[in-house]
Copies of this chain bind each other. A is one copy, B any other.
Amino acid sequence: MRFLFLGDIVGRPGRRAVKELLPPLRAEYDPHLIIANGENAAGGNGITRKTADELFLSGIDMLTMGNHVWDQKEVYDFIDREDRIIRPANYPPDTPGRGYAIRCIDDNTKIGIINLSGRIFMQPLDCPFRLLDHLLPLIKKETKVIIVDFHAEATSEKLALAWYVDGRASAVLGTHTHIQTSDERILPKGTGYITDVGMTGPRDSVLGVQVESVISKFLSLRPVRFEVARGPVQLNAIFLEIDQERGTTEVIKRINIIKN
């Protein structure tokens, strides 16, 4: 089975990048499912009904989230009913929305997708390692194909989690740093891995944000209003080919497309 996974989509430029750059990718890779991290889809922070729908219309099948999931208050209006959006599963038990989903491609084909947040330099959510020990067998009852979006800051936590579930999850794809890493690989027992898929949004920016404002923040150490940057866009993604029977990644390929 073939998958595309797009790194954090940032604001209007990110959504434009999806609209314009996804169709040719789709034609090239013919994926069974297209997943994207959407935590920055609405103006750089969080997601709205409108931005989510725009991304679904552009061909995204499934949106994962991260620490910015609650930034747009209206997310509470639809996250409980919208089964194409998942937020980190390691939020406390009563959190709105869901932390994983099982998607049916056809009668015999199901795919599990899990969203998790790291804890190093981040919020003290529940332990993502222990939560995977709980979730993986649960989902395995339905499918061996399981893709994890691990939304985390520290490279050590991302790598450790991937090694921890090597052979148990099909792929662990890191998000959150907005910078694509070049360490994509298949771990010894078959788990596809990359530390960070990267960012889909304005290229001449600091993680999608207008450069001058971020520099001003580092220089002044005072609150600065961040605006999404303009200019050329990039689409960062991962292509995965997963063996449906064994649940192992057979091909992992990094994608980085730039458009003026």
Interfacial residues, chain A to chain B (CB-CB below 8 A): 70-71, 91-92, 94-95, 119, 121, 123-127, 129-130, 153-157, 159-161, 163-164, 177-183, 188, 195-196, 198, 204, 206-207, 211, 214-215, 217-223, 254, 256
Q: By DSSP majority rule, is chain A's interface helix, strand, loop, or mixed?
A: loop
Please name 9 pairs of A and B residues whose Cβ atoms are closer than 8 Å in the assembled complex, sorted by A.
Answer: A91-B220, A92-B220, A95-B220, A95-B222, A129-B219, A153-B154, A159-B214, A180-B183, A182-B256
Q: Which residue in chain B gives the minimum CB-CB distance to A133?
A: B219
* Chain B residues near A153 (CB-CB < 8 A): 121, 153-154
Q: Which residue in chain B gives the minimum CB-CB distance to A180?
A: B182
Task: Among A91, A214, A256, find the residue whose CB has the most chain B CB atoms closer than 10 A.
Answer: A214
On whether the beta carbons of B181 and A179 are closer than 8 Å, the reply is yes
On whether the beta carbons of A206 and B156 are closer than 8 Å, the reply is yes
> A155-B179, A155-B207 given as contacts; is B254 within 8 A of A129 (CB)?
no
* Chain B residues near A156 (CB-CB < 8 A): 206-207, 214
Contact of A215 among B164, B178, B217 (CB under 8 A): B164
Contact of A70 among B71, B178, B219, B222 (CB under 8 A): B222
Q: Which residue in chain B gives the minimum CB-CB distance to A188?
A: B204
